[in-house]
Amino acid sequence: MGFDVGQPENPYSARFLGTCLIGGLVLGASMLGFYLGLPLPPIGIKRKKKKPIRVYMDGCFDMMHYGHCNALRQARALGDQLVVGVVSDAEIIANKGPPVTPLNERMIMVSAVKWVDEIIPDAPYAITEDFMNKLFNEYNIDYIIHGDDPCILPDGTDAYALAKKAGRYKQIKRTEGVSSTDIVGRMLLCVRERSIGDTHNRSSLQRQFSHGHGQKFEDGGSGSGTRVSHFLPTSRRIVQFSNGKGPGPDARIVYIDGAFDLFHAGHVEILRLARGLGDFLLVGIHTDQTVSANRGTHRPIMNLHERSLSVLACRYVDEVIIGAPWEVSKDMITTFNISLVVHGTVAENNDYQKGKCNPYDVPISMGIFRLLESPLDITTTTIIRRIVSNHEAYQKRNEKKAESERRYYEDKTYVAGD
């Protein structure tokens, strides 16, 4: 007599058969795991979901640059979620001097970094016991992260002493070749050079900063001691910052170009709008020579590779063209399958429309050009004017930082990491 699985004669037989089948599957899985050397949970007990490791990093993030972004990238690699504290304007003034960019702009910048998961505004400059407990208990932070350069408070104590004592501190490698102090120094030197001219046929001091020439330290006036940039771009760093993914076959590709010098909140906001118009945002970054030809010999402040990394770190950007041409040609549009070319209403130089050669003539003729209303009225010149208008305050700020910068580079030892 045949056995009918659909309607068994004895219900107890069916239950017994089901138990045997399930038991056989569990036993088979257990034997396979044992054979492969894999740990298996006890039968009947569900494996608990692993708690994400949350790490915290704070900073002023004033005049945010690729060094800040690389620090956040390294911090994120030490956990599953990165929470970032952005120090208040008042705390920066009390500990370092006046910030160049106010808190609201710094919040936009940090929020746009693709490795950041959460932000705490108005964070304290020093990790106090109360704030540390708040991080551990309210924000569920596992580790507090900082770079290998010392962060010394005005009273001479370590800002992260309590975190170290609690055994919840981890260190990352500082990104060399750039700092906010250095960038302010570059601008102060440019201002000074413009006032005295290029005497004795010497090359621009800004060029020395951007390309790493000259002596180890330059006197930025009144002994500011700003360090010359020795940024050495590597292919690995570019890969670390890159998304590593191309557009899909049917993706709507949006293109925007510019200098993106002293990458600021205005840049971030126009990139955010541009990204919202398509599936893939391609950003063209002009060469140093192109920027100088169109903005003046003292531009750019940051060189091509520095500017490229800052843009690549932005969460709204999918890919960059390092050294994009000034004119958007038909061949370029075809090569990259560009669907839309955009430009912001707020820019360093919008006189291109009045000139004989409009760099956007081709996309305009193709009907794929669009002018975007810029959310913020900020340009690179805006940032430079802030420095110039408060020259003495920033000079004093740089002088305060000069000695610690010197000590770091003179006493520097090798630190493993990225």
Q: Is the dihedral of CA 193, 194, 197, 202 positive or negative?
A: positive
Q: Is residue 360, in this structure, part of any structural domain at all?
A: yes
Predicted local confidence at residue 263, as pLDDT: 96
Predicted local confidence at residue 53, as pLDDT: 97
pLDDT one-digit tens code per residue, 343-366 = 999 988 776 666 678 999 999 999
Q: Is residue 283, in this structure, part of any structural domain at all?
A: yes
Q: Is residue 22, in this structure, part of any structural domain at all?
A: no
Within this chain, do residues 144 and 212 fall inside the same structural domain, yes or no? no
Mark residue 329 as left, alpha or beta (left: phi above 0; alpha: psi -120 to 50; beta: remaining): beta
Q: Is residue 9, in this structure, part of any structural domain at all?
A: no
Tokens 């990790």 belong to 127
Give the full edge-to-edge strand order of the sheet including 81-87.
Answer: 118-123, 81-87, 54-59, 143-147, 169-172
User: Which tokens belong to 77?
Assistant: 């690699």
Domain that holds residue 157: 54-172
Structural domain count of the chain: 3
Predicted local confidence at residue 233, as pLDDT: 75
Within this chain, do residues 241 and 351 fall inside the same structural domain, yes or no? yes
Model's pTM, two decimal places?
0.77
The DSSP element (H or E) to which 269 belongs, if any, is: helix 265-275
Last residue of a domain, one of 155, 172, 189: 172
- Reference 148, options 160, 136, 135; nearest CA is 160
pLDDT one-digit tens code per residue, 232-252 = 778 999 999 999 899 999 999
Predicted local confidence at residue 389, as pLDDT: 80
Within this chain, do residues 222 and 291 fall inside the same structural domain, yes or no? no
Last residue of a domain, one of 172, 193, 219: 172
Within this chain, do residues 333 and 285 fall inside the same structural domain, yes or no? yes
Q: Is residue 27, in this structure, part of any structural domain at all?
A: no
Q: Is residue 8, in this structure, part of any structural domain at all?
A: no
| Upstream peptide bond of 124 is cis (omega within 30 degrees of 0) | no
User: What does the DSSP assignment read for 286-343?
Assistant: E-HHHHHHHH-TT--SS-HHHHHHHHHTBTT--EEEEEE-SS--HHHHHHTTEEEEEE
Within this chain, do residues 216 and 309 fall inside the same structural domain, yes or no? no
Predicted local confidence at residue 88, as pLDDT: 95
Walk along the chain (418 residues) and give the pLDDT tens digit of each residue: 332 334 344 444 444 444 444 444 444 444 444 444 555 555 555 667 789 999 999 999 998 999 999 999 999 999 999 999 999 999 999 888 889 999 999 999 999 999 999 999 999 988 899 999 999 999 999 999 998 877 777 777 788 889 999 999 999 988 876 777 778 777 777 665 555 444 433 333 333 333 333 333 333 333 333 334 456 778 999 999 999 899 999 999 999 999 999 999 999 999 999 999 999 999 999 999 999 998 888 889 999 999 999 999 999 999 999 999 999 999 999 999 999 999 999 988 776 666 678 999 999 999 999 999 999 999 999 998 888 887 666 666 556 555 555 555 566 565 566 6
How many Å is the maximal CA-CA distance in the chain?
A: 110
How far, in Å, CA of 85 to CA of 159, rounded? 14
CA distances, 117 to each of 62, 114, 192, 293 (Å): 19, 8, 41, 39
Q: Is residue 26, in this structure, part of any structural domain at all?
A: no
Within this chain, do residues 189 and 267 fall inside the same structural domain, yes or no? no
Predicted local confidence at residue 183, as pLDDT: 82
Within this chain, do residues 258 and 370 fall inside the same structural domain, yes or no? yes
The DSSP element (H or E) to which 84 belongs, if any, is: strand 81-87
Q: Is residue 46, in this structure, part of any structural domain at all?
A: no
How far, in Å, CA of 284 to CA of 255, rounded? 7
Within this chain, do residues 366 and 386 fall inside the same structural domain, yes or no? no
Within this chain, do residues 264 and 372 fall inside the same structural domain, yes or no? yes
For 168, half-sphere exposure in the C-beta direction (CA atoms, 13 angstrom radius) is 19
Predicted local confidence at residue 98, as pLDDT: 86
Within this chain, do residues 205 and 146 fall inside the same structural domain, yes or no? no
How far, in Å, CA of 147 to CA of 68, rounded? 10
Within this chain, do residues 269 and 283 fall inside the same structural domain, yes or no? yes
Last residue of a domain, one of 130, 146, 172: 172
CATH code of 112's domain: 3.40.50.620
Within this chain, do residues 185 and 106 fall inside the same structural domain, yes or no? no
